[in-house]
Structure 1
Amino acid sequence: MYSILGFLTMKVLVTSYRTASDRIALAALRGLSLAGFSPWLGTDDPSTASARSRHCHGIIRLHSPISSPEEHAVEVMECVRKHHFSTILPTDDYAVFSLSQAYGQCATDVPLPVPPLEGQQRAIDKASTTELAAALGLNVPETQTVKNKSDLRHALKHILSPWIIKLVQGGGSVGMLISDDPNEVLDHVDSLPDYADHIYDFKTLVVQSYIPGWSEDAYALMYRGQVVRSMASRRLLSWPDQNGSGILSETISKPSFFEKSVELLEALGWHGPANIEFRIDQRSGQSYFIEVNGRLWGTTAMAIAAGVNFPALSCQMAIEDGLRKELSFPAGVRMRFPFPLGLHHLAASSSKLSVGWQLFGPSMRCKSEFWWSDPIPGLLQLRDGIKRVRSGQSARALSPLSIN
């Protein structure tokens, strides 16, 4: 099911920096290993959970791509030459930026499944991608970009509440707030750090009308602006609860917004994997574009379980400079991600029995990110989750300031 013939001895460097759960890097290592590649992990923290996977064939200590992306790219290229890697698979926005920038400067001839720098820079800008989505005919929430308190007060007056406040650039739920209280919004904005870089910008915010409902995702692997693999899913449970990462998700038949999603990636000239998030309005059933994640995503393990091994296919595409188009995938494949985010959802839930059964109870139907054949990463994530729940520490994604 997973085997890709001819790649048994090909080495791939998976790059990631330290995160709360490291779930994307773990899925990439497992997916590559199952497909016959020899995956190594390049990270600034060898104690991370994915480094303990039996599918990790080696570990290389790298400087973080957050503080010095140029130096990170040079260091990665040196590793490629020294260890003879066939390609590199970045699993976070900073690493994608670093390698896209190196590609743009002709610093490497290693084939990479990363987008052009201009496309990646536009993809991480929520205001820009929202404007592009609207131009392509997708529904978008009421949106205003704010850079100061005057802009913010204007937005709160003219956009229907409840509001969702987000960084114009940034990943996960960093800096996010959902509220219908203007004073809470003002206090929240005051609490944000005075920080901005090429991926995170706490100084410029996006205010949108919050869409009550649930999240659905379109996934695609693009080859020079053309789709070659695809998938879609629905988040059944998320953490944070209203608009967070999927902790129980299910593959679904291609939704109505899928074709427009591909058009958006085509307009960005995308190369490599990407995820586009939508909210489905529970009042009208309409779908609303939310954002682009220009990399592998948190539920990558579900795609692998459904037979669409995006990490391995991304590397195959890079190495072979192309990939045969195949857009079919099975619907109804369900997967749960219990540690550590599931623990936070359970701790905060008022329906602990129901949530606990969905996330931790025995199930023949639901697959799990926790592998009994590769248990150490899951046990480390469990330990991390228990510590955070006991300390009352938020499970929201860490800011770059705290992980650098």
Structure 2
Amino acid sequence: MSVLITNASNVKGLVVTQSLGKKGVEITTTDCEYLSAAFFSRYSKHHFLCASPERTQLEFVNSIQNHIKRNKIDVLMPINSTETNLISKYKEKFTPFTKVPFEDFPKMMQLHNKNEVMKLASELDIRIPGTYEINNATDIEKFSKEMEYPVVIKLRNATSSVGISYVYSASEFVSKYKQTIQKFNLKSSEYPIVQEYIPGSGYGVSMLYNQGDIRASFTHKRLREYPITGGPSTLRVSVRNQEMENAARKILDHVNWHGVAMVEFKLDERTNKPVLIEVNPRFWGSVYQAIAAGVNFPYLLYEMALYGDVEPVFNYKVGVKTRFLLNDFRALISHLNNSGHRFTTFKEFFKFYEKDLYYDAFSINDALPAMMFAYKGLKDVLNSRHK
């Protein structure tokens, strides 16, 4: 059986490639970048360049469709947000030729939009940060005087840390909010939401659903992330948190979800209660964390697509850590600058070997992709120093 995996340049794409390839699935990878890491994986039997999903959306869709029509592909598995949304939007172009185990576009957008998720969670009595919706430029000054600081400015439809700003005063808010509107060329209906800052540790509850029925669940805690202000995690650990899992399930049950999703929370250090942050209706950056602990979401999704269902998986090993070393090195300087205990931070960072610690994207039997990530990381550092 065969799978087409997009976003081969990203660590998620490589992790999914390795996960399925180790199970004997024939993998084809694609990306718009020639030196994409997963192209060099021993588990990628075929690869090809596609159009950019960011710059030429319809060309991307057509290039994927044309490859599937010419080749036998059993399952199409988009990885990042842009590609997942596009393939969901044009699903009818693919389903005559392959299986697409992801939700239809309206539901995808419902959970992708942060403002809509907050409204839904509020209706379901799930804790959310204090949230402000601004739809008129004339209201920016008024809201700046009503809010308690710090607050977080967030784009309604964005992933990772794109467009996020942390604000500590009214004057700073007005300036940064207007800058965000201008930078992303937003219409009034697209203005960013503003949320109360929740102090505490971040968590993710990952789930697999089959037409509204839960089939797998996994929870992890973020230990480090890059950027430090709220980017993808670079070090995490598998945990349990029943209250978060119940809240995540409440949302996904309500929308009758299908496919994978990860629901993010903060454990508010002031109350020790979980607060919903957002929903990622796609594969998430720390997908290897679940695989290492015993919940192989990519393979479960693949089997569900092929055979219609899978045996539920709710048990996994607690205390397993995973680390994306390249971004963890990038995070080190930020963590040192923001830590009151630099020696402890430095000492903890250089614990490269410990029980139940595994590394994203690195495998002795599949080392070339990790070398590609290192090469690109070094290139980025040199380019930034040159600029």
Q: TM-score, normalised by structure 1?
A: 0.86
Q: Give the secondary-structure state (helix, strand or coil) at the position aligned to 1:278.
A: strand
Checking the alignment, whether the CA contact within 8 Å between 2:236 and 2:321 is kept in structure 1 is yes
Q: 1:375 to 1:153 in 2, by over 3 A?
A: farther
Out of 117, 139, 146, the position equivalent to 1:151 is: 139
Out of 253, 258, 263, the position equivalent to 2:240 is: 253
Displacement after TM superposition at 1:384 (Å): 3.1
Displacement after TM superposition at 1:64 (Å): 1.9
After superposition, give the CA deviation of every residue in 1:297-319 in whole Å (9 maximum; x if it has no partner): 00011111112111111111111
After superposition, give the CA deviation of every residue in 1:250-304 in whole Å (9 maximum; x if it has no partner): 1111431212211211222321111000011111111110101111100011111
Q: 1:202 to 1:214 in 2, by over 3 A?
A: farther
Displacement after TM superposition at 1:15 (Å): 1.1
Identity among equivalent pairs (%): 23
Checking the alignment, whether the CA contact within 8 Å between 1:194 and 1:203 is kept in structure 2 is no
Out of 121, 130, 137, the position equivalent to 1:142 is: 130
1:296 equivalent in structure 2 = 283
Give the Cα–Cα distance (whole angstroms) in 1 for the partners of residues 241 and 131 of structure 2.
Answer: 27
Q: Give the secondary-structure state (helix, strand or coil) at the position aligned to 2:44.
A: coil
Give the Cα–Cα distance (whole angstroms) in 2 for the partners of residues 352 and 378 of structure 1.
Answer: 28
Range that drifts further, 141-150 or 221-230 = 141-150
2:2 equivalent in structure 1 = 11
After superposition, give the CA deviation of every residue in 1:14-69 in whole Å (9 maximum; x if it has no partner): 01275xxx111111111111222111112111312232222222211111223444
Range that drifts further, 183-192 or 53-62 = 183-192
After superposition, give the CA deviation of every residue in 1:185-237 in whole Å (9 maximum; x if it has no partner): 3333343324469xxx9942010010011101100011112110110000011
Give the Cα–Cα distance (whole angstroms) in 1 for the partners of residues 381 and 297 of structure 2.
Answer: 32
Checking the alignment, whether the CA contact within 8 Å between 2:160 and 2:230 is kept in structure 1 is no
Give the Cα–Cα distance (whole angstroms) in 2 for the partners of residues 189 and 165 of structure 1.
Answer: 7
Checking the alignment, whether the CA contact within 8 Å between 1:49 and 1:378 is kept in structure 2 is yes
Displacement after TM superposition at 1:357 (Å): 4.5
* Partner amino acid, structure 2, of 1:92: N
Is 1:382 equivalent to 2:374 in the alignment? Answer: yes
Q: Give the secondary-structure state (helix, strand or coil) at the position aligned to 1:150.
A: helix
Q: Give the secondary-structure state (helix, strand or coil) at the position aligned to 2:128.
A: coil
Two-structure CA RMSD over aligned residues (Å): 2.4
Q: Give the secondary-structure state (helix, strand or coil) at the position aligned to 2:62.
A: helix
Out of 178, 203, 226, the position equivalent to 1:216 is: 203
Q: 1:392 to 1:154 in 2, by over 3 A?
A: farther
Out of 362, 377, 384, the position equivalent to 2:352 is: 362
Checking the alignment, whether the CA contact within 8 Å between 2:155 and 2:163 is kept in structure 1 is yes
Give the Cα–Cα distance (whole angstroms) in 1 for the partners of residues 142 and 375 of structure 2.
Answer: 44
Is 1:349 equivalent to 2:335 in the alignment? Answer: yes
2:38 equivalent in structure 1 = 50
Is 1:171 equivalent to 2:159 in the alignment? Answer: yes
Range that drifts further, 375-384 or 271-280 = 375-384
Give the Cα–Cα distance (whole angstroms) in 1 for the partners of residues 343 and 38 of structure 2.
Answer: 30
Out of 55, 65, 89, the position equivalent to 2:77 is: 89
2:20 equivalent in structure 1 = 32
Checking the alignment, whether the CA contact within 8 Å between 1:146 and 1:152 is kept in structure 2 is yes
Q: 1:373 to 1:100 in 2, by over 3 A?
A: same
Q: Give the secondary-structure state (helix, strand or coil) at the position aligned to 2:260.
A: strand
Is 1:329 equivalent to 2:319 in the alignment? Answer: no
Q: 1:263 to 1:68 in 2, by over 3 A?
A: farther
Give the Cα–Cα distance (whole angstroms) in 2 for the partners of residues 178 and 105 of structure 1.
Answer: 41
Give the Cα–Cα distance (whole angstroms) in 1 for the partners of residues 236 and 94 of structure 2.
Answer: 39
Range that drifts further, 359-368 or 297-306 = 359-368
Q: Give the secondary-structure state (helix, strand or coil) at the position aligned to 2:209.
A: strand
Q: TM-score, normalised by structure 2?
A: 0.90
Report the number of matched residues: 377
Q: How does 1:225-304 map to 2 (within 5 A)?
A: 225-304=212-291
Displacement after TM superposition at 1:78 (Å): 2.1
Checking the alignment, whether the CA contact within 8 Å between 2:135 and 2:189 is kept in structure 1 is no
Unaligned runs of 5+ in 2: none
